Amino acid sequence: MSILSKCESYTRAREARENGLYPYFLNFDSHGAGTARLTGGRDVVMCGSNDYLGLSTDPRVTEAAATAARRYGAGCTGSRFLNGNLDLHDHLEQELAKFFGKPAALVLTTGYQANLGAISGLCGPGDTVLLDKEAHASLIDAARLSRADVQWFAHNDTIDLTSKLDRLSQPSRTLVVGDGVYSMEGDLCSLPELARVCRAYDATLLVDDAHGAGVLAEGRGTCAHYGLTDEVPLITLTFSKAFGSIGGAVLGDEQVIDYLRHHARSLMFSAGASPSNTASVLEALSIVRSETWRCDAVVANADHMRQELMALGYDVGASCTPIVPIKIRDELSTLLAWKLLLAQGVYVNAALPPAATPRLRTSYTAMQTDDHLRRALAGFAAVREQLSGTPARVT
């Protein structure tokens, strides 16, 4: 058995393709936060985008990207550490620190790399990384890379967290890690309780706010939503969602950020965020600041859809954010529901184990009009009927 034998025996994706039930790597010609066009010309209502504020296609953002590419080039062709640092990166760091209310920020090339850099840069043998059971894959990978002892506590369960900390000989050498908004369930982390436990044990808390930043608390994210930004020493961000671009950041105290500048390998050994990405995030940030109606609109659209989906009889789990899962009993029914929705002109994401228990991951944006939401709900109602044989009512 060679390393490559597993590829030969991997048939799951091929079988799904053959059965017309393969939901991944679909091609889009255009990718809006309200509607999108699939290659081949079909328009769909987009209920599966992370472009929560509709900024990825905002002309001010795309123009900032184009201008930066013309001025600085298409890439920075090296690590920021050596030869790829731009005034744009430094400027973005200052603006992020100001906006999110932290002393300093470090910009990395993706959110994934921000998590890798922060966790593996700060933790090592002899330390413990204690992750929420639902923490994002990048946080798990980061913890494993760090060579610290990796443990889990039950989702949002501070009693379990406390008992795990109690068993450690040096609980203060622990990094407690969770998402701000959980990316598959759409629920919030129990930040007040987590912060209280971390304080009691002198453990350090890291919150990955990929899905809260730009959305909650007029864009300032989950920690600001709870009024607890000062209580969270490390916050990580991504720019691939509400900020409509690509990139990531770590926010924290000056000394910590300076340490990471010299110890985060995903920063030091990978090229810096491109000029166009960095400039587009700067522009997106200034729009988030000045156009707070976008945050209100995304929350209102999601609230409306959550209520209506529940009224149709769907199980939307514990969602209270723009991410609204629709729990389906098994993998096959999930793929079937995904396909039926697409046939109704509604695009959602199918999530399967090991990423999550089977579900459709739906998400909502500020760009969806009443008409988009009505069309989507008509599709959800029709599919509910097809799946259960019970007629559903749409208001």
Which residues here bind ligand PMP, judged by CB under 6 A?
110-112, 115, 136, 138, 179, 183, 208, 210-211, 238, 240, 248
Of 76 and 249, the one with the shorter C-beta distance to ligand PMP is 249
CA 127 to chain centre: 26
Of 210 and 256, the one with the shorter C-beta distance to ligand PMP is 210
Of 86 and 235, the one with the shorter C-beta distance to ligand PMP is 235
Closest CA to 259 of 209, 204, 211: 204
Contact in structure between 175 and 154 (CB atoms under 8 Å): no
Closest CA to 312 of 323, 298, 324, 296: 324
Cβ atoms within 10 Å of 368's Cβ, excluding its own: 27
In whole angstroms, the minimum distance from the beta carbon of 7 to ligand PMP comes to 25
Of 184 and 376, the one with the shorter C-beta distance to ligand PMP is 184
In whole angstroms, the minimum distance from the beta carbon of 263 to ligand PMP comes to 20
Q: Is the dihedral of CA 351, 245, 140, 133 positive or negative?
A: negative
Q: CA–CA separation, 198 vs 158, rounded Å? A: 10
Contact in structure between 185 and 355 (CB atoms under 8 Å): no
In whole angstroms, the minimum distance from the beta carbon of 44 to ligand PMP comes to 21
Render 314-345 in DSSP notation, one character per residue.
---TT--SSEEEEE-SSHHHHHHHHHHHHHTT
Of 240 and 270, the one with the shorter C-beta distance to ligand PMP is 240
Cα–Cα distances (Å) from 23 to 10, 13, 19, 50, 191, in that order, read 17, 10, 11, 17, 34
Question: Which residue's Cβ lies closest to ligand PMP?
Answer: 111
In whole angstroms, the minimum distance from the beta carbon of 139 to ligand PMP comes to 7
Closest CA to 215 of 300, 299, 282, 289: 299
DSSP 98: H
Of 241 and 306, the one with the shorter C-beta distance to ligand PMP is 241
In whole angstroms, the minimum distance from the beta carbon of 243 to ligand PMP comes to 10
In whole angstroms, the minimum distance from the beta carbon of 392 to ligand PMP comes to 30
Around 288, how many Cα atoms within 13 Å sit in the side-chain half-sphere? 31
The letter for the amino acid at 384 is R
In whole angstroms, the minimum distance from the beta carbon of 59 to ligand PMP comes to 23
Cα–Cα distances (Å) from 13 to 23, 26, 33, 353, in that order, read 10, 13, 28, 14
In whole angstroms, the minimum distance from the beta carbon of 383 to ligand PMP comes to 25
Using the CB atoms, write b or e for 317-333: b if 16+ within 10 Å: bebbbbbbbbebeebee
Of 213 and 257, the one with the shorter C-beta distance to ligand PMP is 213
In whole angstroms, the minimum distance from the beta carbon of 179 to ligand PMP comes to 5
Of 210 and 324, the one with the shorter C-beta distance to ligand PMP is 210
Of 28 and 293, the one with the shorter C-beta distance to ligand PMP is 28
In whole angstroms, the minimum distance from the beta carbon of 219 to ligand PMP comes to 17
Of 206 and 373, the one with the shorter C-beta distance to ligand PMP is 206
3-class SS of residue 123:
coil
